[in-house]
Structure 1
Amino acid sequence: MNIDAFRCMRRGVQLFSLTQDDFSLMAPIEQRNGKKQRALLLLHGFSSSPAVFRDLLPSLAYYDAVICPVLPGHAANLDSFAQSKASDWFVLAEQTCELLVNEFTQVDVMGLSLGGLLACHLSNRFPLHHLYLLAPALDLRLKINRTLGLAKLLNYLGFSQVRSVAGNLYTDEHCEISYRKIPLAVIIEVLTSIRQFQFSPPNCPTDLFLGCHDKVVASWQVAARFANMENVTIHWLANSAHIIPLDGDKDSVLTCIKQNNMANS
C-alpha cells in the first residue's frame, strides 16, 4: 500500500495526509464471535475502503460475524486501482457472500454506493436475510454517457488521472479516506459497469437509505426503482449526503438495523 496515494477528504477538499498508523483503518474487516447464526457483509464504495464502516462496528456487535473485504484495486496504490476491473469487484462480492451463506444461518448485506450496486446483484443470486442499501450507485447525478465520452477523450489525449472529489458529506464530524487522484481507466470502468448493470428488484426485505443532500447519486431516480415494493422501506435522511455511514444520520441507520435484528431474534 502506498499511503501517500490517499487523503482524508470532505466535500472534495483534501483535509490532511495519512500516516503509517492509518494503514489498519483501510484493512479488511473480519469481526467474529464463534457463533454461526447471523452475519453481516459490508461492501464499501468506489475509491474508498472498509474504513468507511469502522465507526459503525461497536454498534453491530450483536452479529456473530461482520465482514468487509477490500474490493480489488482499492486500499492499495494508484497503479493497482487503474488496472482493476468491475468483473473482479463482482467476483469478490459473490465469493465472499457465498462463503457466508454456506457458513451462517442468516446473512445480511449492507452496501454503500458501488457497494450498494454489488449488494443488489447479490440479492438476486443468494438467499439473503436482509438487504441494507446506502445510496446505491444505480443512478448518478452526472450524465454517464457524456462523462464517459470525456474520460475516453482525455485518456486518448494522454491524460491518466484526475483529482478526486471524494467525501460528499453533509456534516463536518468525519471525513472519508479515499484515493487523492482517480485514474481515468478506472473511471471508465466504473461508469461502464453502472451503465450496463441490469437491475432486478431484491426479493428479500430491504431498507433503502438515501441522503437528502447527495451530490453523487440521483436519489429520486433510485427511489423510483423501489417505489411501491412491499418488501422495501425507503428512508430519506435529512442530515446526510452520500457517505451515509460517516454522516449525520448514521444513528438512524444503526437503529433500523438493530430493530430488524431484535424482531427476528
Structure 2
Amino acid sequence: MPLLPGAEPYRHHGGPVGILVCHGFTGSPNSMRPWAERAAAEGYSVSLPLLPGHGTHWKDLNTTRWPDWYATIEREYLSLAEECDQVFVFGLSMGGLLSLHLAAERGAGISGLVLVNPLVRMPGQAHVALPVVRHLVPSFPGITSDIAKPGVDEGGYTRTPLHAAHSMKQLTKIVQSQLPSVTQPLLLFRSPQDNVVSPDSGRMLLERVGSKDVEERLLERSRHVATLDWDAELIFDGSMDFVRRLTVPATKG
C-alpha cells in the first residue's frame, strides 16, 4: 500500500552527535519532520523512522504490536550509535513511550531525552475494555491532528486500531515499571490543553523517573501535536539548547 503524504522516513548524515526522532501512535514522520529538519540544519546526524503499520492504512497498524515498533527504534538507535559519539532521543506521544523504553534498556548509550506530551499512562477509562472489545470491533474513531493552529493536519489515521492500542497499553505498564531506571537528562514539553494524553502521564513521569537533570516546560498555546503547533519553535529551540549543553567534544575521526 502506498505511503500517505509526508509519511516517508527521514535520514540525515551530519556530525558526530546523533538524534533519533520518534513519532506517535497512528501518526507518521510528517508530525516530526520540521523538528528533524531543524536538527539536521544544526549539523546533527538525524534518523526519523516510519514505525511499522503507520503511514498507510489503520488496518496495517492492527497487524503490528509494540515489539515491532520498538525494533525499528532500536535498529535506528544502533545505526546512529555506530556512527556517532553521542545519541539523543526526541519523542512525541507514543514516540515518547518508546523513547523511555529505549532509555531504560540502553542506559548510558543515550545522552538525553526530549519528550513532547509523552504517553506514559493510558487516558480515560475506555482502555479498560480493550482486552475484550478488540475481539469484537477492529477500531474506534481516532483522535488525530489535535492542533490549535488553524489549517494544520498531521496526516494521521482517522481510526484507532484496537489490537494495536491494546499492545500500546501493555507497553505503558512495562515502561511505568522502568521509569526509576531512566536516569538520563530529561527535557519534558507538555501542553496543558492536550486532548489526547492526560496530565496524569506527565505527573507520573516526573514522579517516578530516575533522572536528576529534569526540566518541564509548558506549551500554553499548543495541543497534543505541539511539534506542528504554535509553540513548535519553542520546542525546536529548547531541544537544540539542551543537546548543546550536554554535548561533549567529538572523539571519532
TM-score by length of 2: 0.85
In 2, the alpha carbon distance for the partners of 1:164 and 1:141 equals 14
**Consecutive unaligned residues in structure 2, runs of 5 or more:** none
Q: Which residues of 2 match residues 167-182 of structure 1 at below 5 A? A: 167-182=145-160
CA drift at 1:187:
2.2
CA drift at 1:41:
0.3
Of 72, 75, 96, the residue aligned with 2:52 is 72
Of 237, 241, 245, the residue aligned with 2:227 is 245
The C-alpha deviation readout for 1:20-39, integer Å capped at 9, x for no partner, is: xx2xx111110223x4x111
**SS at the partner of 1:124?**
helix
Match of 1:92 in 2: 72
RMSD: 2.2
Q: Is the 8 A contact 1:28 1:70 kept in 2?
A: yes
In 2, the alpha carbon distance for the partners of 1:152 and 1:226 equals 28
Greater displacement, 107-116 / 247-256: 247-256
Of 131, 154, 163, the residue aligned with 1:185 is 163
In 1, the alpha carbon distance for the partners of 2:114 and 2:32 equals 13
Match of 2:205 in 1: 225
In 1, the alpha carbon distance for the partners of 2:205 and 2:134 equals 33
Please state if 1:31 is matched with 2:12. yes
Corresponding letter in the other structure for 1:111: G
**Consecutive unaligned residues in structure 1, runs of 5 or more:** 7-21
Corresponding letter in the other structure for 2:101: H
Greater displacement, 45-54 / 189-198: 189-198
Of 113, 117, 137, the residue aligned with 1:135 is 117
In 1, the alpha carbon distance for the partners of 2:55 and 2:79 equals 22
For residues 38 and 196 of structure 1, do their structure 2 counterparts lie closer, same or farther at Cα, with a shift above 3 Å needed? closer
Q: Is the 8 A contact 1:223 1:234 kept in 2?
A: no
Corresponding letter in the other structure for 2:12: Q
The C-alpha deviation readout for 1:189-215, integer Å capped at 9, x for no partner, is: 222332343332422211011111012
Match of 1:47 in 2: 26
Paired residues, number: 240
In 1, the alpha carbon distance for the partners of 2:49 and 2:70 equals 12
**SS at the partner of 1:141?**
coil
The C-alpha deviation readout for 1:139-194, integer Å capped at 9, x for no partner, is: 23312xx4241x4444444x222222212223325221111223222222222332
Please state if 1:117 is matched with 2:97. yes
Q: Percent identity?
A: 23
In 1, the alpha carbon distance for the partners of 2:85 and 2:222 equals 33
